Amino acid sequence: MQKQLVKTGDGSHSFYLPEMDEHYHSKHGSIAESQHIFIQSALLYKAKETEQLKVFEVGMGTGLNVYLTALTAQKNKLKIEMHSIEAYPIKIEEAKKLNYAEILEESASIFYQIHESSWEELHKINNYFHLLKINDQLENFNLKESYDLIYFDAFAPEKQEELWSPEIFKKLYKALNANGILVTYCVKGIIRRRLQENGFKIEKLKGPVGGKREMLRAIKV
Ligand SMILES: C[S@@+](CC[C@H](N)C(=O)[O-])C[C@H]1O[C@@H](n2cnc3c(N)ncnc32)[C@H](O)[C@@H]1O
């Protein structure tokens, strides 16, 4: 699918898919969104309990969430193993156009390492962060391991309903440890109900500044 490189509200890049009329991130700010939803409201929240965490991501996309998680692990001395699934990986030439390292004033080599590392193998990215990239469709993937956190970052339910199904949420619930957390930017009533019907306790939190007003944190109780 053809991708267009776009700048979002905080100056950071994202991709836009004209065929789907869908962005990889909030138009109001890719970095602002990732930092707020996945890093602040999930990773750093859970890190108050434990310094060793296993994270599963739905939709690796540009690798922004992976990159921010690797940087946060190093800064906060958190031992993190992250598994990220992606059905349609971006090309390395596309990754090289993204300005995340520049905006964050961080090392671009970590970002490239994330993209250049082979799929289906666990890689050490820094002393605190290990990454396994899985090239598969979530619907077909058999989740054998268990996780403390799930970054649920699929395209919107209006665009890809099959990824927001009760079966998927059941599978993700099973893959979480007790008190494990799933976070998502989507707060639609039907999605909240599906999560609740599969055993999650839902919290609605404030969304990223300038973007969506709310987000969801779902806890396995
Ligand atoms: C909202 S974007 C993810 C953004 C990403 N987390 C980031 O940091 O850039 C959704 C991603 O899900 C991927 N995707 C689409 N269908 C999928 C499927 N069936 N299984 C796994 N990933 C899928 C898309 O290719 C896209 O990269």
The CB of 154 under 6 Å from ligand 1? The reply is yes
**Ligand 1 centroid vs 53 CA: distance in angstroms?**
22
The CB of 153 under 6 Å from ligand 1? The reply is yes
| pLDDT per position as a tens digit, 129-146 | 999 999 999 999 999 999
Ligand 1 closest atom vs CA 151 = 6
Q: How many angstroms separate the CA atoms of 25 and 8, rounded? A: 8
The CB of 141 under 6 Å from ligand 1? The reply is no
End-to-end CA distance of the chain: 39
Ligand 1 closest atom vs CA 64 = 8
> Looking at residue 209, what is its pLDDT?
78
* 60-81 mean pLDDT: 98
- Give me the domains of the chain, ranges plus CATH numbers: 29-220 (3.40.50.150)
> How many Cβ atoms are within 10 Å of 76's Cβ, its own excluded?
14
- Closest residue CA from atom 19 of ligand 1: 137
* 110-115 mean pLDDT: 98
Question: What is the band of 120 on the pLDDT scale with cuts at 50, 70, 90?
Answer: very high
Helices H / strands E in the chain, number of each: 8, 11
Question: What is the band of 191 on the pLDDT scale with cuts at 50, 70, 90?
Answer: very high
Q: Tell me the one-letter amino acid at 157.
A: P
The CB of 183 under 6 Å from ligand 1? The reply is no
